Structure 1
Amino acid sequence: MIKVTSSIDWNKWDNFVYSHPKGNIFQTSYMARVYELTQNYEPVSLAVVDQESNDIIAILQAVIVQQMGGVLSLFSSRSIIYGAPIFDEENENIEAVRTLMEHYEKLISNKVIYTEIRNMWDTWQIGSILDQSGYSFTDHFNALIDLNKPIDELWNQLKRDKKRGIKRSEELGITIETCQSKESIKIFYELVKETYNRAKVPLAPISFFEAAFEVLVPKQKALLLFAKDTSNNIIATQFALMYKDRIYAWYTGSREEFLKFHPGDALIWYLLKYGKEQGYKVFDFGGGGGPNKNENLREYKSRFGTEFPCYGRYEKTYSETRSRIASTGLKIYKRLI
């Protein structure tokens, strides 16, 4: 017999995720703690366990994100699932996923407008279960760089403009430094907020990044980088995550007046070298957008030698009315910033 529980033994949880071939940082108890410490974020942590052995069979870590508080949360809340659910594939416990998703749906459907599952691999094994649960699949690209090659080969696969940009940043004396002070999150946030405002997209609250720094950096699961000019001005930043064999380019930001110094190129090249030197096998460059949009994003990332597997996303809307109101609100937000 199996049961679904939200009272998960943290050691068993993290051991299950770490030993799973599809285990990722977003499904760990570390990220649950980050969500708990973030304003207007709520973790949803569920596990299917064997009632006799209490062993974990399947895991799902989601996060409810509210763009606005109070009554308006009904029109701005969504649930995001990164790289899950994962289940015991060795013993083919796929029905545990069905049980897990049924429990999740009962728990979440009245709290959010929609759920989005952001896949990190081919989900053919559980696709039919998600289809039957009312989820719709859409194509969406991931962006990955294989680090299983010599550093010279990583350099050679960069396009000419990226090589020029990296060399130019070196000539101008741009240096990359690792930050160990939580107080620096304020500077990091200013840079990222400036970048997101230019792109006219919402940004997570500063408490999210403060929590990530507090929880993940001491565990060597995250790295905060600053790019500085010769006057010691911080001109760009990168917050990277690290877990198992993967290093993630998570959030980045830069000052517009310093873009001509190519600090973004320098930061990515630093992470590629760091990842290679530390034995990571995959550089996760984040999403690559959908087939009919984000072409500029894919073009930029492709110039570092990025590949774009299409693992797609699943989405389920619980209220079409609230979804339309939220969409209208986002359009107004973009006009205001």
Structure 2
Amino acid sequence: MLDDMFQLGEQPYTKEDAEWDNFVATHPNGSFLQTTQWARLKSRFNWTAYRVWVRKDGELVAGAQILFRSTAMRLVKMGYMPHGPIVDWDNTELVKVLFGQIDLAIYKHRAGLLKIEPMVWQRDMSAEKWQTLCAENELITATDTIQPPRTMLIDLTPTEDEIMASFRSKTRYNIRLSGRKDVIVRKAILADLPAFNRLMHTTGERNDFGVHAPQYYQACYELFAERGDATILLAEFEGKLLAGVLLIKNGQQCVYLAGGSSNEERNRMPSYAVQWAAIRWAKQHGCTVYDMWGLPDEDAETLEAGFKERNDGLWGVYRFKRGFNGRVARTVGSADKVYNKLIYKLYKRKRGIE
């Protein structure tokens, strides 16, 4: 019986759950979006977090951190699992046990819908297998995602010189040009955060994409930095702030979560200087992968064909990221589990999904 094989448990999230965070950091499908710090961040913005897990021989072998939120005048409550659940998807029995725990959590919180977005790459799981796993666990594969499903990954295992040599020639030139034009990069302090937020909003307006409120980025930085898992790097010229990036580290992965640049002194290539410093920071802190976090959700051929002309959505930032010549990768996407058909209908209407 499964009850004899697995020791099950569940708990409300805690602020200092080192065991859980270590599990997330060391699991192949782990992500900073499943950490205690992310739960603490979202709790400041009207979400509640809850964990379920499965143990075997006393060790965590699978789990999920679920975020809950009520929308539509508190009439619709949903559960959301960013980059979760964390499980060996090849172990179908373990997957089934974990989803049994997840179902109990959803019922306990009286949510009508669960959206999952596991951190599983398409190259590691075929579309057919993903469809089968979803069907076996009463999940509906969904077309809408909350986290960007497609990204660019830079391998940090080579030397810094080899990483630099892998970039496209124009990007290498711009990185070196920024140094010749006296751009310097430094770590931010707390007092720099308002200026960093202004850079974010300037970039959002210039490239026509949404950004979070200033307190969101500040809270994110503070929560992850207190454990040494975040930094903000700033590029300056003669004391004038020109560009900045927010980096989040989880295990051996570093994510370029947010960044912005000024409309001034752009010929000094500060964004290239700070991005190269970010890649070096990640490597120096033991990371083997640098995730550039978000590309247009198109295959590599379409990206290459359209990057010169397209300016909508994430196409503008893709032109910049393309120069770093990482591997384009996509997760399997999202899936929904419906516990209340009316709530699911309201959710899809709000998201503009037919």
TM-score normalized with structure 1 length: 0.80
| Structure 2 match to 1:301 | 321
Task: Give the equivalent residue in structure 2 for 1:39.
Answer: 45
Residue pair 1:46, 1:100 contacting (<8 A) in 2 also = no
Q: Does 1:247 align with 2:270?
A: no
The CA deviation string for residues 248-285 of structure 1, in whole angstroms up to 9 with x for no partner, is 11100111233332211111111122223333211111
Does 1:85 find its partner at 2:85? yes
Q: Relative to structure 1, is the Cα distance of residues 127 and 32 closer, same or farther in structure 2, using a 3 angstrom cutoff?
A: farther
Cα shift readout 1:151-192 (whole Å, capped 9, x = no counterpart): 2221111112212221221122111110132x3222211111
The residue number in structure 2 matching 1:160 is: 169
- How many equivalent pairs are there? 318
CA RMSD, 1 decimal: 3.4
| Distance across 2 between alignment mates of 1:60 and 1:269 | 34
Question: Equivalent residue for 1:117?
Answer: 117
The reply to whether residue 150 of structure 1 matches residue 135 of structure 2 is no
The SS at the match of 1:204 is coil
What is the CA–CA distance in structure 1 between the aligned matches of 2:327 and 2:177, rounded to whole Å?
25
2:206 aligned residue:
198
1:281-320 aligned within 5 A? 281-291=288-298, 294=314, 297-316=317-336, 318-320=343-345
Q: Indicate the residue corresponding to 2:272 in structure 1.
A: 265
**CA-CA distance at 1:84 after TM superposition:** 1.4
> Does structure 1 conserve the Cα–Cα contact (< 8 Å) formed by 2:186 and 2:234?
yes
2:193 to 185, 206, 221: 185
Gaps of 5+ in 2: 304-313
For 2:45, give the aligned amino acid.
Answer: Q
Determine if contact 2:247/2:258 at 8 Å carries over to the other structure: yes
User: Do 1:74 and 1:322's aligned partners in 2 also have CA atoms closer than 8 Å?
Assistant: no
Is 1:175 the counterpart of 2:180? The answer is no
State the Cα distance separating 1:17 from its structure 2 match: 2.0
Question: SS at 2:295's partner residue?
Answer: strand
Which SS does the other structure have where 1:289 is aligned? coil
User: Contact 1:47 / 1:56 at 8 angstroms: preserved in 2?
Assistant: no
Q: Secondary structure at the match of 1:290?
A: coil
